[in-house]
Structure 1
Amino acid sequence: MPILQSTYKPSFQFKNGFIATVYSGIIRSVTLEQQRERIATRDTDFLDLDWSYAQNKSTSVIILLHGLEGHAQRPYVTGTAKLFNQNGMDAVCMNFRGCSGEDNRLYKSYHSGATNDLDDVVQHCIKQKKYSKIYLQGVSLGGNVVLKYLGEDRILPLEIRAAIGVSVPMHLDGSSTELQKLKNRPFAIRFRKHLLDKLRIKQKQFPDLLSDDNLSHIKTLREFDDFYTSKAHGFEDAMDYYTQCSSLQFAQSIEVPTLVINALNDSFLSAKCYPVKEAKQNNNLYLEMPNFGGHVGFIQKGGFYYNEKRALEFVNTHNNS
Structure 2
Amino acid sequence: MSYVLISDTYPTRDQLASGANHLVVDGLASSASTLVCPFQHHASKPGKKILKYSPTKEDERIRQSLKLLKTVRDDFRTADYAQSFNWSEISQEYNRLQNSHAHLPSRDLFRSRRRADCNNVDLFMADKNAYEEAYQMTNGSLLVYWYTDLDADNNCLATCVWSSRDIARSVNSLPAHKEAASLAAGSYVHYHIDRYRIQWRTEDKSFDLTPIFKYVKLCRLKLIADDHSDEKFAQRAVIDSRGNTCKNIKTVLETHCPLLTDPTAASMVPTPYLCGGMLQTAYCVNIALKSTPQSEITYDRESMIMSDKGTMSLDWYPERRPGAQCTRPIVILIPGVGGSSYEHHVRSMAKLLATGNKKGSGRTPLTSSKINGAHDTDDFGDIVQHIIKSYPNTLLVALGFSLGANILTRYLGELKDKSPLAAASPCAALLTWRCRALAGCQELSERQRFQPNLVASIKRSVERNADLIRSSDVGYDVDAVMQTKRMSEIDSLLIAKKCGFKNCWDYYRAASSTQYIQYIRTPYLAINALDDPVTPYRGIPLDMFSQNPFTALVLARHGGHLGFFSGITPKIWYLEPIKEYFDVFAFKRNRLN
User: If the TM-score is normalised by the length of the shorter chain, which range does it land in?
Assistant: 0.7 to 0.9
Query: Which residue of structure 2 lines up, in the alignment, with residue 169 of structure 1?
Result: 430
Equivalent position SS for 2:273: helix
Are the aligned partners of 2:432 and 2:514 in contact in 1 as well (CA < 8 Å)?
yes
Instruction: Using the TM superposition, give the Cα deviation of residue 234 of structure 1 relative to its aligned residue in structure 2, in angstroms.
Output: 4.4
Residue among 357, 376, 391 paired with 1:114: 376
Q: Kindly report the root-mean-square deviation, in angstroms, between the aligned alpha carbons of the 2 structures.
A: 2.6
Mapped to 2, the partners of 1:26 and 1:292 lie a distance apart of 18
Query: Which residue of structure 2 lines up, in the alignment, with residue 14 of structure 1?
Result: 274
Q: Which runs of 4+ in 1 moved over 6 A?
A: none
Residue among 327, 346, 368 paired with 1:77: 346
Query: Which residue of structure 2 lines up, in the alignment, with residue 31 of structure 1?
Result: 296
Mapped to 2, the partners of 1:78 and 1:305 lie a distance apart of 11
Equivalent position SS for 2:552: strand
Are the aligned partners of 2:311 and 2:364 in contact in 1 as well (CA < 8 Å)?
no
Identical-residue share of aligned pairs (%): 25
Query: Which residue of structure 2 lines up, in the alignment, with residue 295 of structure 1?
Result: 561
Matched, 1:205 2:205: no
Query: Which residue of structure 2 lines up, in the alignment, with residue 51 of structure 1?
Result: 316
Mapped to 2, the partners of 1:229 and 1:274 lie a distance apart of 23
Mapped to 2, the partners of 1:211 and 1:112 lie a distance apart of 21
Residue among 331, 337, 345 paired with 1:68: 337
Mapped to 2, the partners of 1:261 and 1:109 lie a distance apart of 28
Mapped to 1, the partners of 2:522 and 2:478 lie a distance apart of 45
Instruction: Using the TM superposition, give the Cα deviation of residue 155 of structure 1 relative to its aligned residue in structure 2, in angstroms.
Output: 6.0
Are the aligned partners of 1:176 and 1:222 in contact in 2 as well (CA < 8 Å)?
no
Equivalent position SS for 2:531: coil
Instruction: Using the TM superposition, give the Cα deviation of residue 236 of structure 1 relative to its aligned residue in structure 2, in angstroms.
Output: 4.1
Matched, 1:42 2:307: yes
Q: Identify which range, 210-219 or 227-236, moves more after superposition.
A: 210-219
Q: Deviations over 1:87-107 (max 9, x none)?
A: xxx201110111021441222
1:78-97 map, 5 Å: 78-81=347-350, 85=351, 90-97=352-359
Larger radius of gyration: 2
Matched, 1:104 2:371: no
Q: Which runs of 5 or more residues in structure 1 are unaligned?
A: none
Mapped to 2, the partners of 1:212 and 1:251 lie a distance apart of 36
Instruction: Using the TM superposition, give the Cα deviation of residue 125 of structure 1 relative to its aligned residue in structure 2, in angstroms.
Output: 0.9
Q: Deviations over 1:104-135 (max 9, x none)?
A: 12222232122111111100110013443100
Are the aligned partners of 2:416 and 2:519 in contact in 1 as well (CA < 8 Å)?
no
Instruction: Using the TM superposition, give the Cα deviation of residue 305 of structure 1 relative to its aligned residue in structure 2, in angstroms.
Output: 2.0
Mapped to 1, the partners of 2:538 and 2:306 lie a distance apart of 33
TM-score by length of 1: 0.88
Matched, 1:143 2:405: yes
Query: Which residue of structure 1 lines up, in the alignment, with residue 494 of structure 2?
Result: 228
1:119-268 map, 5 Å: 119-153=381-415, 156-158=418-420, 160-179=421-440, 180-185=442-447, 186-207=449-470, 209-211=475-477, 213-215=479-481, 218-268=484-534
Mapped to 1, the partners of 2:479 and 2:382 lie a distance apart of 36
Mapped to 1, the partners of 2:571 and 2:392 lie a distance apart of 28
Instruction: Using the TM superposition, give the Cα deviation of residue 214 of structure 1 relative to its aligned residue in structure 2, in angstroms.
Output: 3.2
Are the aligned partners of 1:259 and 1:288 in contact in 2 as well (CA < 8 Å)?
yes
Query: Which residue of structure 1 lines up, in the alignment, with residue 535 of structure 2?
Result: 269
Are the aligned partners of 1:203 and 1:211 in contact in 2 as well (CA < 8 Å)?
no
Instruction: Using the TM superposition, give the Cα deviation of residue 25 of structure 1 relative to its aligned residue in structure 2, in angstroms.
Output: 2.5
Query: What is the number of equivalent residue pairs in this alignment?
Result: 313
- C-alpha change, 1:24 and 1:192, in structure 2 (3 Å) is closer
Query: Which residue of structure 2 lines up, in the alignment, with residue 307 of structure 1?
Result: 574
Amino acid at match of 1:64: L
- C-alpha change, 1:230 and 1:155, in structure 2 (3 Å) is farther
Q: Which runs of 5 or more residues in structure 2 are unaligned?
A: 1-224, 227-249, 251-259
Equivalent position SS for 2:418: coil
Mapped to 1, the partners of 2:548 and 2:417 lie a distance apart of 18
Instruction: Using the TM superposition, give the Cα deviation of residue 273 of structure 1 relative to its aligned residue in structure 2, in angstroms.
Output: 3.7
Higher relative contact order (CA 8 A, sep 6+): 1
Q: Deviations over 1:194-246 (max 9, x none)?
A: 22332233322243634465336644322221121112234443223211111
Mapped to 2, the partners of 1:23 and 1:227 lie a distance apart of 29
TM-score by length of 2: 0.49
Amino acid at match of 2:480: N
Are the aligned partners of 1:47 and 1:94 in contact in 2 as well (CA < 8 Å)?
yes
